[in-house]
Structure 1
Amino acid sequence: MGGGKRFAVLLCAEDSDYVKKRYGGYYGVFVEMLAEEGETWDVFRVASGHFPDEDKIGDYDGFVITGSCNDAHGNDVWICKLIALLKKLDSLKKKVLGICFGHQLRNSQLEISYVINLNLFLANSILGRALGGKTGRAISGWDIGVTTIHLSSSSSKLFSSLKIPATLSVIECHRDEVRELPLKAEVMAWSEKTGVEMFRYGDHMMGIQGHPEYTKDILLHLIDRLLQRSFIADSYADELKANLGKVEPDKDAWKKLCTSFLKGRL
């Protein structure tokens, strides 16, 4: 049914005990959202230095970059190595879906000084950085909760066959953002707080600032962890928890959107 395709999750964070126990780690969360019958899904814990062999990259039909606790504008050894891998994937025109951290990565060779940070698939951020965009701390601070994003008219056209509404709710948890897109990249969605919620680079790379893979219980767990580490105040944590019951994320729509892009069905 999946045509025997092969995909890889590039895991940019350590699994918490809670997510390991409940979902089998963040890898399990992504597989639950994206995997279909007949496909093979592998995981590479890139934050721990585990990368795919260069001669095996061509074996994969697509890659997913997860969120991370690290800054997409950092220069840790593994982040620089991930940027190099993303450039390689771009040259091969491999499908890449970046979530939050994956959305924000910038191209360190094209950008000498730090300018921008985008919080996606931060995968959206790392992707933006790798392609030459600019990422950095969001001026508006933390964006946590269920956020309404607006698709651009071109995005609505692209996703027309999926019958995706023009506005979608998605779980957000980031304080970095993409401030400037790579050349030739297109803004696909925005929100009141974040100007680049999604972007597309060619037909093969897409970054998402939010977390379409998250469930509300994962977000509640993250809020508690941020509170324990004094990243957010008690009053803000209470406010976030009180607001969580008001809006549901559009998980089914995001699943259709992400799988269709990653698997070339648009």
Structure 2
Amino acid sequence: MPLRICILETDVLRPELVDQYHGYGRMFELLFAQQPIAAEFTVYNVMQGIYPPEGERFDAYLVTGSKADSFGTDPWIETLRTYLLERYQRGDKLLGICFGHQLLALLLGGKSERATQGWGVGIHNYTLAPATPWMSPAMDKLTLLISHQDQVTALPANATVIASSEFCPFAAYHINDQVLCFQGHPEFIHDYSRTLLDIRQQCLGEHIYQQGIASLDYEHNGTTVAEWMMRFVAHKADKAAV
């Protein structure tokens, strides 16, 4: 049977981008369709207060990126924190990307804040820790599209770093077989990243903008990360079935 994944969508795209890109939930559906593990996805926009029905169970819950701050106090963020903590305490598998990566770290005892390094944009390179069984196919380094000005600055006590760089030391981590998070955006495509860079050109400054645009000449490992995420979920499901 395919894995059942709940995508908790934590943003709404700008109106001018909706026709082409739809939303982050749709971006993840397109991404995961490119990896070999069978999975079904249901998207709930929690920013709009939409959650799975009571009693509905999934193999994993994925928290998307957002323009909001993970350390913000908006009512919808507080509601999401409560919901995720309940899922964690119940033993559910949790996946986090960008905002989700930061929110889960914060929720589970780490720290997330505005980064002194400033904006990270375009394609970024990371050093990888030794591969775990679910990091297949194995790679020597990782490249991902990024767009963030916040970072995790302290990990939960039981978290293990799996990707890092000088710019972003805690770029990916896992907590045992239950939580897996990435600061980068495996679901982004080059055209969407270019659009974000153009929209934010003035606030980024010309130097960071031009660096980001130039980096888009290179490919990234988003589909590999998608496979790692599904293998991580399947690994947990296999253990639970024993």
TM-score, L = length of structure 2: 0.89
The amino acid across from 1:52 in the alignment is: P
Q: Which residue of 1 aligns with 2:223?
A: 252
Q: Structure 2 unaligned runs (5+)?
A: none
The residue identity in structure 1 corresponding to 2:42 is D
In the TM superposition, residue 251 of structure 1 has moved relative to its aligned partner by 2.9
Greater CA deviation, 10-19 or 124-133? 10-19
Find the counterpart in structure 2 of residue 164 from structure 1: 138
Q: Distance in 1 between matches of 2:177 and 2:167?
A: 26
C-alpha change, 1:236 and 1:183, in structure 2 (3 Å) is closer
Show the 5 A alignment for 1:1-266: 3-17=1-15, 19-35=17-33, 39-56=39-56, 59-102=57-100, 124-153=101-130, 156-159=131-134, 162-227=136-201, 230-245=202-217, 247-264=218-235
Cα 1:242–1:4 change in 2 (3 A) is closer
Larger mean CA deviation between 35-44 and 70-79 belongs to: 35-44
8 Å CA contact 2:180, 2:229 repeated in 1: no
Residues 37, 263 of structure 1: alpha-carbon distance in 2 compared, 3 angstrom cutoff: closer
Bigger relative contact order, structure 1 or 2, given CA contacts below 8 A and separation 6+? Answer: 2
CA contact (8 A) 2:37 2:227 kept: no
Asked if structure 1 preserves the Cα contact closer than 8 Å seen for 2:129 and 2:162, the reply is yes
RMSD: 2.0
Tell me how far apart the structure 1 counterparts of residues 216 and 111 of structure 2 sit (CA, whole Å): 31
Q: Which amino acid aligns with 2:31?
A: M
User: How far is 1:26 from its partner?
Assistant: 1.6
Q: Does the aligned pair in 2 maintain the 1:62–1:263 contact within 8 Å?
A: no
CA offset digits 1:137-168 (Å, max 9, x no partner) = 11111111111111112xx14346x2321201
Q: What letter is aligned with 1:89? A: R
Distance in 2, matches of 1:71 and 1:62, equals: 23
Residues 191-213 of structure 1, C-alpha deviations (whole Å, 9 max, x = no match)? 12011011111201111000011
Distance 1:258 1:31 in 2: 13
Identity of aligned residues (%): 28
**In the TM superposition, what whole-angstrom CA distance separates every residue of 1:39-96 from its partner, at most 9, and x where no partner exists?**
432111111222223433xx21111110000011111111111111111111122111
Secondary structure, counterpart of 1:182 in structure 2: coil
- 1:15 CA drift (Å): 2.1
Deviation at 1:235, TM superposition (A): 4.2
Paired residues of 1:188 and 1:198 also in contact (CA < 8 A): yes
Quick one: distance in 2 between partners of 1:201 and 1:44? Answer: 24
Tell me, in whole angstroms, the C-alpha distance in 2 between the residues paired with 1:135 and 1:25. 24
